[in-house]
Amino acid sequence: MKIIYDRKTNTITKSTATSGIIEDDTKLKERSIREQRAIHCFPIINRGQLWYNMLSEAQLVELNAWYHAWLDATETLIIPEKPLWLVDAQEVIEQDND
């Protein structure tokens, strides 16, 4: 794989030896966002119904908005901020695992 930075256009391109395909900076960002979405979003969204039953109405609304922002992220190229209550819950889980 070869990564090339073009100073004139401020873009990054990547050439893969196997396919010879060149991806521009936007495609690289889209791929990165998809990978991050799989790591940070889907494990939360794909929790079971028992977890969803414990959420308040406000949390469900916020979670839905966050999920749709992740789905739109490959178009907007903006990674959404995790709701604060999810950040707090994740910190508690990580502390319990230490």
CA distance 32 to 28: 6
- Find the helix or strand (DSSP H, E) in which 8 lies: none
What are phi and psi for residue 83, nearest 5 degrees? -55, 140
HEC readout, 26-87: HHHHHHHHHHHHHHHCHHHHCCCHHHHHCCCHHHHHHHHHHHHHHHHHHHHCCCCCCCHHHH
For residue 34, what pLDDT is reported? 94
Q: What does the chain come to in residues? A: 98
pLDDT given for residue 20 in this prediction: 46
Residue by residue, pLDDT tens for the chain (98 residues) are 566 666 667 666 766 655 545 557 888 899 999 999 999 999 999 999 999 999 999 999 999 999 999 999 999 999 999 999 988 776 655 555 55
Supply the pLDDT for residue 98.
58
